[in-house]
Amino acid sequence: MGLNKDSMAINAVDTGLVIRKRHNTDKVIALGGSPNVGKSTIFNELTKLNQHTGNWPGKTVTSAQGYFEHHRQGYVCVDLPGCYSLMAHSAEEEVARDFICSDEADAIVIVCDATCLERSMNLVLQTLEINPKVVVCVNLMDEASKKKIEINLDLLSEHLNTPVIGTAARSREGLDRLMDAVLEVIQTPEKPAFRIPYSEYDDIASAIISTSEKICSGAITYKDKNYRKKDSEIDRVLTGKWTAFPIMFLALMGIFWLTITGSNYPSQWLSTFLFWIEDRLTDFFHWIHAPGFLTGMLVHGIYRVLAWVVSVMLPPMAIFFPLFTLLEDVGILPRIAFNMDKCFKKCSACGKQALTMCMGFGCNAAGVVGCRIIDSPRERLIAILTNNFVPCNGRFPTLITIISMFFIGTAAGAGKTVLSAAILTLFIVLGIAMTFLISKLLSATVLKGVPSSFTLELPPYRKPQIGKVIVHSIFDRTLFILGRAVCVAAPAGLVIWFMANVVIGDKTVLLHCSDFLDPFGRLLGMDGVILLAFILGFPANEIVIPLMIMTYMAEGSILDIGNLTVLRQLFVDNGWTWITAASVMLFSLMHWPCSTTCLTIKKETQSIKWTLLSILIPTAAGMLICLLFATVAKTIV
């Protein structure tokens, strides 16, 4: 039993993907490979900015196409999902296999890692069985050279009966030769497909692995037998039994310290600029003699909320996402997943959930999208339903402001910034603990099942591409998520303005609502104003504290009090104590996801039931924790 077209019985599969050709003469090439082999770098270097992204029809797997020309020949490059095998166990592998079998590609390029070629060769052999029009791209030749690994590309080509080209995509070395080989394969009459001798082995897996080892053994020379010694020594520390978790804790605290310290001044500058524009807009509306309610709705309502969300969200995201991506680029992030795997296994969940949980620190919506990497539908749902227990950067301003006012003092200083980061990290560890607890409860109840195993490759440590990391983080993550937040914050600003300015009896609608919620809020250690601020902050968590200020001061629009001493006094005058502050932090850590995350959950699960459950679970947990804390704290005090 092989993986050829006949045995798989899926020849000429209709993938439903629309190929974006510019001319009828354009050729289609598919770019495949396992994760961490530089496939995305090759795709970006070839296509530059001529790219389109979306989803494969009927799948949540991302689809990317790009256009480029080589020697006056146009090419459409389809970036296949990263996968280790075509024996489909996941949506990504299924998509890759189906496209390779569909005959939609004129040629297929399989990208391999020159530093561990045997691992990548499995995918090469499976692809060659299905489609003989394959070019093997052995990437990262520069790293292999540094590790004194020599690869006989000609011998590999002879064994595989297909072109094998060495590249170093970061410097574009070898990419022209790669495309020359692609054109040669397209123009060459189809040759017999590669055959793996399955009859000589007990099962398919052992046949593929043994054949890969035989092909590579004579073509690869390791001049330095200890070429992995340095990586192994670092791994012994980063994944060690006693050192892994303390290092992870310190790294997390360091990232938060950099984010807090680095975002303070940019946030203030951006806020000053955006609110200066608000003043000019107000002057303009007065100049054209616009009605007061129109100025209030558009400027003090919609624009002010937008300005607040942008000034608070943008700087922390612009710092956090590049730091997070650097960890990924260097090779540390897979080690974090490795360390957390046993913890998630004990909860009957998947170790890859560690990666999606880390993504949630930047944005919970991004974390939910990241759950696509989890193959098991059951474990993917667990990861989606619990992702909100790690606070996104939209909740950081609330947590940091309260920590500064009630737990470390309002004076500035490097020592207090470190202490603030340490307290914030402890709260986040509590959120991670809740992630484990709720994952275990879900696995024992509505999502019963046995944890699946998964292949986790620990890539070699690499020097990060800082420039590309920054560009990728800002444009693909920061601005994308900010755009989503802005879309929901604009109508929220209008609703908030109406509630703050429409009077019924002797009070505004806002005050009527806060009074109604007050008894329930006090049970949770807070008050009605705080609870209402969280509810109205559903579109964007960044506006929770401004909403509290606005309601306490009975103003008609969102306000900002930049002086933390003055802000603390305002809260104390309205009944805040350290118990109130701690309860607000706990509820901020554990409550319903923001509207952007909820929309993302609905899109990913295609289910109203799971979306509602994703709201109910953290909200119920937050209310229970706050009720227990407030009851015990008030009893002790």
Report the SS3 class of residue 330. Answer: helix
pLDDT at 6 over 50: no
pLDDT score for 224: 73
pLDDT at 568 over 80: yes
The mean pLDDT value of the chain amounts to: 82
Average the pLDDT over 584-602 and give the result. Answer: 91
Average the pLDDT over 610-617 and give the result. Answer: 94
The C-alpha atoms of residue 434 and residue 365 are separated, in whole angstroms, by 19
Strands 220-222 and 149-151: antiparallel
The C-alpha atoms of residue 458 and residue 465 are separated, in whole angstroms, by 19
CB 518 within 8 A of CB 569: no
CA distances from 480 to 103, 148, 358, 397, 470 (A): 34, 41, 18, 20, 14
If we measure between CA atoms, which residue out of 556, 535, 557, 555 comes closest to residue 544?
Answer: 535
Q: Which two tokens stand for residue 379?
A: 């474990």
Among 71-85, 166-180, 360-374, whose mean pLDDT is lowest? Answer: 360-374
pLDDT score for 399: 85
Q: Which residues pair with 53 in a beta bridge?
A: 64
CB 409 within 8 A of CB 416: yes
pLDDT at 179 over 90: yes
**Cα of 47 vs its chain's centroid, Å:** 23
pLDDT at 12 over 50: no
pLDDT at 208 over 50: yes
Q: Which two tokens stand for residue 231?
A: 């990586």
Report the SS3 class of residue 10. Answer: coil
pLDDT at 353 over 90: no
pLDDT digits (tens, 9 = 90+) for 414-438: 556 677 778 888 888 899 999 999 9
Confidence bin at 9 (pLDDT 50/70/90): very low
Alpha helices for 288-376 (secondary structure H): 292-295, 304-330, 333-346, 353-362, 364-370
pLDDT digits (tens, 9 = 90+) for 452-464: 655 666 777 777 7
Average the pLDDT over 511-539 and give the result. Answer: 92
pLDDT at 410 over 60: no
Confidence bin at 513 (pLDDT 50/70/90): very high
Average the pLDDT over 25-38 and give the result. Answer: 88
pLDDT digits (tens, 9 = 90+) for 473-482: 776 667 766 7
The C-alpha atoms of residue 443 and residue 386 are separated, in whole angstroms, by 12
pLDDT score for 255: 79
Among 239-243, 254-258, 478-482, whose mean pLDDT is lowest? Answer: 478-482
pLDDT digits (tens, 9 = 90+) for 478-495: 776 677 667 767 787 788
pLDDT at 606 over 90: no
pLDDT score for 90: 67
Q: What are phi and psi of 601, to 5 degrees?
A: -60, -45
Q: In order of start, what are the domains of the chain with their CATH numbers?
A: 5-222 (3.40.50.300), 244-456+463-636 (no CATH)
pLDDT score for 20: 83
pLDDT score for 44: 86
pLDDT score for 592: 92
pLDDT score for 349: 83
pLDDT score for 416: 65
Predicted TM-score (pTM) of this structure: 0.71
Please list, in sequence order, all residues whose beta carbon lies within 8 angstroms of the beta carbon of residue 147, skipping any fewer than 6 positions away. 115, 224, 227, 228
Q: Which two tokens stand for residue 314?
A: 């943008």
CB 198 within 8 A of CB 2: yes
CB 87 within 8 A of CB 126: yes
Among 209-223, 242-256, 552-566, 579-593, whose mean pLDDT is lowest? Answer: 552-566
Report the SS3 class of residue 24. Answer: coil
The C-alpha atoms of residue 387 and residue 396 are separated, in whole angstroms, by 16
The C-alpha atoms of residue 85 and residue 123 are separated, in whole angstroms, by 5
pLDDT score for 51: 65
The C-alpha atoms of residue 137 and residue 29 are separated, in whole angstroms, by 13
pLDDT digits (tens, 9 = 90+) for 46-104: 988 666 655 555 555 667 888 999 988 999 999 888 888 777 666 777 888 888 888 88
CB 540 within 8 A of CB 594: yes
If we measure between CA atoms, which residue out of 519, 553, 551 comes closest to residue 534?
Answer: 551
pLDDT at 168 over 80: yes
pLDDT score for 240: 83
